[in-house]
Chains A and B, each alone.
Chain A
Amino acid sequence: MAPCGRARLRVALRVPGAAAYLHHEHGGRGRVAYAASTEPIMSTSVVNEQIIEIVSDSGEGAQTAGQLFGTLAAKMGNGVWTVEIIPAEIEPPPRSKAGASGVRVRFGSRPMTNMGDEADLVVAFNEQVLYGRIDAGALRPGTVVLLDDKWAAHPEAAVRDAYRDGVEDLRARGYVVREVPMEAETLRLVDNARRGQNMWVVGLLCALYDRDLDVAKADVAGIFTRRRKGPEVIAQNHALLDAGYAWGREAFTERFRVPPMETRGDMVVMNGNAAVAMGAMAAGIELCAMYPITPATSASHYLGAAFHKAGGFVHQAEDEIAAVSFAIGASYAGKTAMTITSGPGMALKTEMIGLAVMTEVPLVIVDVQRGGPSTGLPTKVEQGDLLHALYAAPGDAPKVVMAASSIDECFHFMVTARSLAETFRTPVIVMTDANLATGQTAFPYPELDERWLSPPVDQTPWPAGVPPYAWDEATGLSPRPIPGQPGGMYVLTGLAHDERSRVAYEADINQRAAERRSRKLVALQESLRPPVVHGDDHGELLVVGWGSTRGAIEEAVDALRADGHRVSSIHLRFLSPLEPGLPEIFARFDRVMTVELNYSDPPDAPGSRRYAQLAWLLRAQTLVDVDCWSRIPGAPLPPGHIARALRERLSGTLPDTRRTARRGAR
């Protein structure tokens, strides 16, 4: 799908024109050397969005460069969404397809909600990492490739040949390849290009995209100050930015201006894990008990650096089970705590989460999903934990499950989660994923509220005669005694128990207690609003999503609607309880299907089709024949792929599952 309203990028370079290039080789240093031989940029085009990638071998700084460029875009008022390109190892072999490390930055004149489709421009430090991105579907014919040319003069013939063959092949595939002397230019200023080429490249991109170099410099100063580097290092990096910028100004014949968004107040830019960490602090949570696991861990890094200022602490436990146990112990004693993990950690915490449900201990659990099962895809995104979060427990264990669909929701859902956990006396699972965790975007500066912070631990006397589980008949809600409260003494137990927390030896007590716990979800559901339909509230096809896919789904729906299709979408934030009103909304569409980042059988698969996880849930809950399209590429779903899948469903090239199911029903 061609992204609507985005200009195709044609970057014409004067270099390597022989004169300029030779001049660099033999002439003096710095800007003066170019000034005599090249002209400044000749023309400026306005485009409303761009997708760029910077990729290198691990350790060459492409990630820092990409995040810097993304922050810069946000500071210049653009909508922005960044995606980390992460190899599985810390330092994979150099010049390898699987070793591509870097960042994609999508920025434009409107808020960005997803990573988009193919890139307009890719800066590659070598041609092999570029092949990794081609395999990932990140390029299209016409994508501009700025490639470091140093490999042409590499001492090893095999490397030189691979580079030459690569450039030829890349051109044959239709990419606009421009060879740029990145290392050579960087070496004019520093001895080791691995420490500097990334900054030179940011300078280059600032010239191409007409960025404010002073803003970039302020950011660079901030980055290196945080890394405890001195003024010499900052000055050197500023010089590299200047050099890259000057080279670009004179080498590019055109530049591109991406105007800022129209209205904006104060914004913050951060990734989803930072948002979870900041949200936890804003929610008054004082304790995060965790065990390191990708891709959840960085939230604890952000917390570890800041938590003590708000009086909190990170407990790095001996294992996942200890982490959740520690959190439950603190919550039981009056300090509602959180634990954060990913799928394998959820598996280990399952028994303890069941205990928290059974004993009605408030608890916030964040599940930053990655590919599974087993170790799966540790650094890559998937939405594979939904049914696990909902149902992984022996017996019936109703709990609240929410899913953030954007990075600002990663922040705000922490506040909601702590509040719900205490009000409903239950564990609340907040689901995010690797895409949200590592992607950066700008969102409005949250208006903090002192009421979000938890009140002091209640130590007033417990009213006489009130049992520790004084379940309300209708809602299942009950107040909770906290150690220290005179008269409230009770023994919390994971055994089936009655209102007084006494072990249930009679059969009907267990039935009654389970009903009361279940009713809490009904009470919460009644307080929720039905989801808002994106597009018309009736039509041919309704797409249902959850979690990080919202931006991409809505973009795909918009593209189809622009083509005249009667498609709409809804996006669910609450999975347990489900948001109300779904049967009524579903009834207004001919067909309903989910789009998810997890596994499902195709519609024409032999045997009993296994559905995507939300589809499974919706089918069970609504008795509507909900179809699904889901994939597990270990990457976010691009809007173009979703749009293609929706078109296929609409054109009927795949069997109509509703009719199939109806036949089966007869």
Chain B
Amino acid sequence: MMNDLARFWFDDAADAPRACTLEDYQGATPRWCPGCGDHAVLAALQRLCRDEQLPPEETVVVSGIGCSSRFPHYMKTYGFHGLHGRALPVAEGVRSRRPDLHLFVVTGDGDCCSIGAGHWIHAIRYNMRMVVMMFDNRIYGLTKMQTSPTTQAGYRSNTHPRGAWLEPIDPIQTTLGVTNVSFVAQTVDWNPVHVAATLTRAYHHPGLAFVRVLQRCPHYTGDVYEAAQRDPKRLLLLEHADGVPIDPAVAKLFPNRTAHDPHDLDAARRLAARDDEVLPVGLFYVNPAAQRYDAYTVEGLATPRNAKLAAVRGELDHYKV
């Protein structure tokens, strides 16, 4: 009440940033299944927006198609729920001329690593500033349990009832292999503190921050992350001063911790290639100095209209006879 009065009476206060609460970021009621890991990430992103006080009108969430891609509907920001596999190029277009917006992308393992795989590779290379949350539940959920590119070999689905024939693609290794990669992190939906800390770290990265969220699907792949969820020893917490900042009290809940320098790409790749049952969580790699394509696409953004008109006339003059 006081706040409203202050805004009404004092110009200075009217210009001051308003205080946004969680409700300011909460859109439609989520229609994901009970127990779905997506709920936790939604809550984490809403908290991030609140903590960073992102104006909802300057925040855009772009998604593709799949269970997780319903995400923008549940935010009270601008959203773009587009086509299967195409979230990344749409987000690149948004970013190209709008450096002022806070941009988040939601994509799934099918959306990103299968139908949109070409865009995935190039988005990493473009390195335009955005947070990309890749929800990996290792199955096609919305279309009712088909093998995804990250489904483990032997896992039974409706398209491979005798078990998936191929070994899964590794999204972390693949992303770390792309030229100009600048930020790769991994988190798990069942540790909300770590999810929130990872997203915050990603949000502040000046480039494309790729975050793989290991995400439970209670309907179809409830067993896939069950062991890791039950036994914290199956997770390996990556620690570094420049990594995902974790409260020491929370860090203690991870029996397995290791120091990992996220500026060391070779070390990141070795870590990602570990062939054991332990899942690293935290920041694999970061390079804030990587070249950014959005630095190219914003050139000339402030060109005044008369200068544009003069430029067109100058070009036309080349063709004059």
- Chain A positions near chain B (C-beta within 8 angstroms): 71, 74-75, 266-270, 274, 278, 281-282, 284, 286-287, 289, 306, 308-313, 315, 317-319, 321-323, 325-335, 337, 351-352, 355, 442, 445-446, 448, 450, 453, 481, 483-495, 502-503
- Determine if B81 and A492 form an interchain contact, defined as CB atoms under 8 angstroms apart: yes
- Determine if A281 and B57 form an interchain contact, defined as CB atoms under 8 angstroms apart: no
Interface centre among A311, A331, A491 (most CB of B within 10 A): A491
Chain A residue with Cβ nearest B125: A318
Q: Does B83 contact A (CB under 8 A)?
A: yes
Alpha-carbon distance A479/B321, docked complex (angstroms): 43
- Determine if B96 and A281 form an interchain contact, defined as CB atoms under 8 angstroms apart: no
Contact of A319 among B62, B76, B83, B118 (CB under 8 A): B118
13 new A-B contacts at CB < 8 Å, known A270-B319, A334-B98, A488-B78: A268-B320, A308-B300, A310-B308, A311-B300, A315-B96, A319-B118, A322-B119, A326-B96, A335-B97, A355-B83, A483-B58, A487-B57, A491-B27
- Determine if A329 and B92 form an interchain contact, defined as CB atoms under 8 angstroms apart: yes
Q: Does B274 contact A (CB under 8 A)?
A: no
- Determine if A486 and B55 form an interchain contact, defined as CB atoms under 8 angstroms apart: yes
Chain B residue with Cβ nearest A309: B311
Which residues of B lie under 8 Å from residue A74 when comparing CB positions? 321
Interface centre among B101, B299, B312, B320 (most CB of A within 10 A): B312
Q: Does B100 contact A (CB under 8 A)?
A: yes
The binding surface of chain A is classed by DSSP as mixed
| Selected A-B contacts with CB under 8 Å, 20 pairs | A268-B321, A274-B319, A281-B311, A287-B93, A310-B311, A311-B302, A313-B299, A322-B122, A326-B89, A328-B82, A329-B96, A332-B93, A333-B93, A355-B83, A442-B321, A453-B305, A483-B78, A490-B78, A493-B79, A494-B81
The binding surface of chain B is classed by DSSP as helix
Q: Mark B26-37, 1 if CB is under 8 A from A, else 0.
A: 011000000000
The answer to whether A321 and B315 touch (CB under 8 A), given A315-B96, A329-B96, A453-B309, is no
Contact of B300 among A274, A312, A334, A450 (CB under 8 A): A312
- Determine if A286 and B98 form an interchain contact, defined as CB atoms under 8 angstroms apart: no
Residues 77 to 133 of chain B near chain A (Cβ within 8 Å): 77-83, 86, 89-98, 100-101, 118-119, 121-122
- Determine if B60 and A483 form an interchain contact, defined as CB atoms under 8 angstroms apart: yes
- Determine if A325 and B58 form an interchain contact, defined as CB atoms under 8 angstroms apart: no
Q: Mark B244-260, 1 if CB is under 8 A from A, else 0.
A: 00000000000000000
- Determine if A489 and B93 form an interchain contact, defined as CB atoms under 8 angstroms apart: no
Min Cβ gap B308→A in Å is: 4
- Determine if B57 and A489 form an interchain contact, defined as CB atoms under 8 angstroms apart: yes
Q: Does B314 contact A (CB under 8 A)?
A: yes
Residues 293 to 315 of chain B near chain A (Cβ within 8 Å): 296-297, 299-303, 305-309, 311-315
Which residues of B lie under 8 Å from residue A333 when comparing CB positions? 60, 93-94, 97-98, 101
Which residues of A lie under 8 Å from residue B90 when comparing CB positions? 325-326, 328-329, 332
Chain B residue with Cβ nearest A487: B57
Chain A residue with Cβ nearest B27: A491
The answer to whether A488 and B72 touch (CB under 8 A), given A310-B311, A311-B301, A445-B316, is no
The answer to whether A278 and B316 touch (CB under 8 A), given A289-B93, A311-B308, A333-B60, is yes
The answer to whether A330 and B97 touch (CB under 8 A), given A490-B78, A492-B79, is yes
Q: Does B194 contact A (CB under 8 A)?
A: no
